[in-house]
Chain A
Amino acid sequence: MVKITFIDAAGQSRIVEAEEGSTVMEAAIRNDVSGIEAECGGACACATCHVYVDDSWLEKLPKAESMEEDMLDFAYDVRPASRLSCQIRVTAEIDGLVLHTPEQQG
């Protein structure tokens, strides 16, 4: 299992275990992580699974593809560290990933 830390807008942090091959969004939903809605169920069609990648991980994650960038246009307060968590695959390489959930999902 891969460990992922979610820190909410108020600074509360939670560590969840994610299965390799699933997505970060799926791990968040399975563990009821607050601040992630994922209305479209991971189809990259809603932008309500928006997260900010912690500075310490910015360089290490594979970059967003253009479909994800397009969908990020619909998210609120998009920053350079913004990602859609349904488009981040869980692999051994991302063990220890730290993400921040936004104040609101659009």
Chain B
Amino acid sequence: MTEIIKTDALIVGAGPVGLFAVFELGLLDIKAHVLDILPKIGGQCSELYPEKPIYDIPGFPTITGQGLVDNLMKQIEPFHPTFHFNEQVEQLESIGTPAAPLFRVRTNGDLTFEAKTVIIAAGGGSFQPKKPPVPGIEAYENISVFYAVRKMESFRGKRVLIVGGGDSALDWSLNLAPIAERVILMHRRDEFRAAPHSVNAMRELVAAGKMDLTLGQMTGLKGEGGELSAVTVKANDGSIYDFECNRMMPFFGLTMKLGPIADWGLNLHENLVPVDTEKFETNVPGVFAIGDINTYPGKLKLILSGFHEAALAAQKANRYVFPDKKVVFQYTTSSSSLQKKLGVG
């Protein structure tokens, strides 16, 4: 039996809104664990537009996606949240009562939590690898087509076609080249988004005859019973040919999918979780939804709205976690007790 991690609050999603929830909960002495399926914090800001400027964060005439996330991390540091990355929250089960909620939460990596309150800050859902739109690809997935490497050994002696031009495609080409019978990297053009040093390393391997690089796009798959035998390729001169391989790894970036949240017994409206606008609580008492994942009349999918939602959800969460505590409204500017929590008093 795995150990159960007990926590006041569990936050699903480490996007900007989940991060700020740590701050608002922290001011109320509520300790939080934060989970994300990604290997890093920041949600859409870090994954989709780290370098782009945002112009509508109050008090910051301009700040980049990553800059905002870095600042949030600094801001929540005094509260020492515990992060669990590469973990998708799969199950949420209510084991308490409406007056004293308690939830058992499980992840795909076998972590189990017991939380007094759950804050869903899941944005557009779990970031997952984008599938290339090749007909019939599902039949090969996890048999001979992989979106991630779990065991390098399973590629030993295989002819591996890696498709893409970013860091993942390049990194896995380099890592698998010594293990596989042959690694072939396929990209639509002879320019790569990946870090220059991995591009150089790849070109060296190609020059030394240790792997191949081919330009073109995948249009079809051939094989039987999930075992790939060839990939149909459209070359840049328009010619179409079959390329023999028995493993294929496509890297076409990430997309957001609602994922397991649909099975948690929450009301859903067009893949969003309806909440009230006083506490941002879902139909399940003790479970809150804030940021892009929620919906209510007038909802705007803006970071600033998510921050506001985090502050109000924390107030109600406080009543579940500390039912007997008297709530006094305080400013961070003037309250010595808040300043002590922030480590500035």
Contact = CB atoms under 8 A, between A and B. Distances in A.
A69 B191 contact: yes
Contacts of B130: 74, 106
B187 interface: yes
Contact of B252 (A43, A70, A74, A77): A74
Interface string A14-47: 0000000000000000000000000010010110
B164 to A, nearest CB: 7
Interface residues of B, number: 18
Interface string B62-103: 000000000000000000000000000000000000000000
A40 B193 contact: no
B188 interface: yes
Contacts of A43: 48-49, 52
Contacts of B253: 74
Interface string B209-223: 000000001010000
Contacts of A69: 189, 191
Nearest to A47: B253
Interface in B165-221: 165-166, 187-189, 191, 193, 217, 219
Contact of B166 (A46, A73, A106): A73
Interface string A43-59: 10110000000000000
A76 B191 contact: no
A104 interface: yes
A78 interface: yes
Contacts of A66: 191
B298 interface: no
B133 interface: yes
Contact of B217 (A40, A78, A104): A78
Point out which of A74, A77, A106 has the most chain B C-beta atoms below 10 A from its C-beta.
A74
Contact of B133 (A45, A70, A76): A76
A69 B189 CA distance: 9
A73 B48 contact: no
Contacts of A73: 164-166, 187-189, 193, 252
A104 B183 CA distance: 30
A46 B133 CA distance: 15
A94 B187 CA distance: 31
B38 to A, nearest CB: 16
A65 to B, nearest CB: 12
Contact of B48 (A40, A76, A77, A106): A40
Nearest to A45: B48
B252 A45 contact: no
Interface string A70-106: 1011101110000000000000000000000000101
Interface of B: 48-49, 52, 130, 132-133, 164-166, 187-189, 191, 193, 217, 219, 252-253
Interface of A: 40, 43, 45-46, 66, 69-70, 72-74, 76-78, 104, 106
